[in-house]
Amino acid sequence: MSTRGINFLVNWMAEHLPETASDDPVLISDLADQVMKAADKAGIGMTEITEEVPSVFEVIAEALDHGEGGGRLA
pLDDT for the residue 74:
36
Closest C-alpha among 56, 62, 20 to residue 38? 56
Residue-wise pLDDT for 6-18, tens only, equals 899 999 999 999 9
Domain coordinates in residue numbering, the chain: 3-65
The DSSP line for 50-65 is HSS-S-HHHHHHHHHH
Does pLDDT of 72 surpass 70? no
Residue-wise pLDDT for 21-37, tens only, equals 889 999 999 999 999 99
pTM reported for the whole predicted model: 0.83
